[in-house]
Chains A and B, each alone.
Chain A
Amino acid sequence: MSVDGWMTGTKTPFEKGGRPRQWAGGFAAFAIAMTGIAAHAQPSDPRKSGTEYLSPATRALQSNDAENPAMLWVKAGEALFNEKPGADRKSCADCHTATVRPLKGIAAGYPRFSIAANRPLNLSMQINLCRQQHQKAATLQHESRELVSLETYVAHQSRGQPIAPWRDARMSQAFINGERHFKTRIGALDLSCADCHDRQAGKQLAGNVIPQAHPTAYPLYRLEWQGVGTLSRRIRNCMSGVRAEPFAHASAEMIELETYLASRAAGMTLETPGVRP
């Protein structure tokens, strides 16, 4: 079935900013999702990060930086961050220091509306935009080693920060569309994300526990991938798992879905880089 989704049944060695300016019609749901920030403080929060469903061995791998394989991507990302790839001879580090445009917490606010691009962007797309606009460098391919490394390095700097979706009326339509994508049955198996992740979370789909699909640890190392991948890649796996045509990387639909997932997870802690089977 899917090339590298849950249907392959692969076994792993480890398993044995501010108030919205206005609430337009239909935006109320967005407001409710936002209150998740308050909810998270309560022990009664029913939301669980995918990390909580891991086997003890995989979980230990994630929580120990010396063993977490994704830390290699963080290291590689740091090196790239200091390179000057383009005609402008500027590195990312030239623009982002500990005090000027610091990156701490930034990843926890994506996807967000970009004035420069006039559309919502995820972090991969923002990194590419910086390359084009500020470094005069070529854009990197989605899921390429370089782009994933840079994104993992940047997201790692928000580890421990609460997911804080961009509260901006310009994101409301993305949220509304994303919720629709999440609830629409697709593919030859005719299943929606909600069918599994809202209604069946915690149960076993053959050998895999179905998580709640919170984007708490991306980019992350997946044993099945033998590498680090982004949230978009994970979503594409689930889509081909139900035998649907996956949304393209960086497509409007993909960013809308990611916007909805971020809102569902508002206030949950970012754990990048995660490890998953």
Chain B
Amino acid sequence: MPLTPTAGNPARGRALVADRQKGMCLLCHTAPIAEVRQQGDLAPSLAGAGARWSAAQLRARVVDNRRINPQSIMPAYFKVEGLHRVGAPWKDKTLLGAQEIEDVVAYLATLK
């Protein structure tokens, strides 16, 4: 189920994925986003993610991947409970907002 009634915007999603401070995805992943140099190699490439997974499956991974794989190092982007020593500026805030999650999911879905 989408988190918001407004459909995700893939262009905004792409920008979030590329953003080192916001999405931070490319710290760990690579993606076909040529302008970002020095992408990480801790995680599978996001290329083809939209072919491998449905929108619902992609959303589940971005919202809280550790519900799928508790060992995973991928942070939960839409969760505030169960965290320790969160720094004051980030307390009680999700890493991404609901609409931002939808934007990211919409972008990932285009990666076929």
A, B co-complexed:
yes
The reply to whether B21 and A1 form a contact with Cβ atoms under 8 Å apart is yes
> What's the Cα separation between A245 and B91 when bound, in Å?
10
Q: Does the CB pair A185–B21 fall under 8 Å?
A: no
Closest 7 CB pairs between A and B?
A207-B38, A188-B90, A189-B75, A186-B85, A243-B90, A244-B85, A206-B27
A214 to chain B, nearest CB (A): 20
A114 CA to B26 CA in the complex, in Å?
45
Given contacts A206-B26, A207-B38, contact A187 B87 (CB under 8 A): yes
Q: Is the CB of B41 within 8 A of A203?
A: yes
- Is A119 engaged at the interface, CB distance under 8 Å to the other chain? no
- Contact at A243–B87, with CB atoms within 8 Å? yes
Within 8 A of A (CB), among B55-100: 66, 73, 75-76, 83-90, 93, 95
Residues of B near A244 (CB, < 8 A) are 84-87
Q: Kindly state the separation between the CA atoms of A127 and B24 in the bound complex, as whole angstroms.
A: 40
A9 lies within 8 A of chain B by Cβ: yes
Chain B hits for A185, CB < 8 A: 84
- CB closest chain-A residue, reference B73: A195
* In the complex, chain B residues whose CB is within 8 Å of the CB of A243: 86-87, 89-90
Beta-carbon contact of B75 and A205 below 8 Å: no
Q: Which residues of chain A from 179 to 199 have any CB-CB distance to chain B below 8 Å in the complex?
A: 184-191, 195-196, 199
| Set of chain B residues within 8 Å of A206, measured between Cβ atoms | 20, 26-27, 38-40
| Chain B interface residues (CB < 8 Å from chain A) | 20-21, 24, 26-28, 37-42, 66, 73, 75-76, 83-90, 93, 95
> Main secondary structure on chain B at its contact with chain A?
loop
Q: Give Cα distance in the complex from A184 to B84, angstroms.
A: 9
Q: A188 and B87: CB pair below 8 A?
A: yes
Chain A interface category by residue count: 20 to 34
- Set B37, B40, B73, B95: member contacting A188, Cβ < 8 A: B95
User: Cβ of A200 < 8 Å from any Cβ of B?
Assistant: yes
Is the CB–CB distance between B83 and A7 below 8 Å?
A: no
Q: Mark A1-17, 1 if CB is under 8 A from B, else 0.
A: 10000011100000000
Contact (Cβ within 8 A) B27 A205: yes
A184–B93 alpha-carbon span in the complex (Å):
20
Number of A-B contacts (CB under 8 A): 78
Which residue on chain A has the smallest CB distance to residue B94? A188
Residues of A within 8 A of B37 (CB): 207
In the complex, what distance in Å separates the CA atom of A190 from the CA atom of B90? 12
User: A216 near B: Cβ within 8 Å?
Assistant: no
* A69, chain B: closest CB distance, angstroms: 24
Q: Return the CB mask of A196-226 against B: 1 if under 8 Å, else 0.
A: 1001100111110000000000000000000
Find out whether the CB atom of B85 lies under 8 angstroms from the CB atom of A245: yes
User: When the two chains form their complex, are residues B20 and A199 in contact, meaning their CB atoms are under 8 A apart?
Assistant: no
Chain B residues, Cβ within 8 Å of A7: 20-21, 24, 27
Can you add 4 more A-B contacts, CB < 8 Å, to A9-B38, A195-B73, A200-B73?
A: A191-B75, A204-B38, A244-B87, A245-B85
Tell me if A240 counts as interface (CB < 8 A to partner B).
Answer: yes
Contact of A204 among B21, B40, B90 (CB under 8 A): B40
Docked Cα-Cα span, A243 to B40, in Å, equals: 19
Question: Chain A nearest CB: distance from B72 CB in Å?
Answer: 9
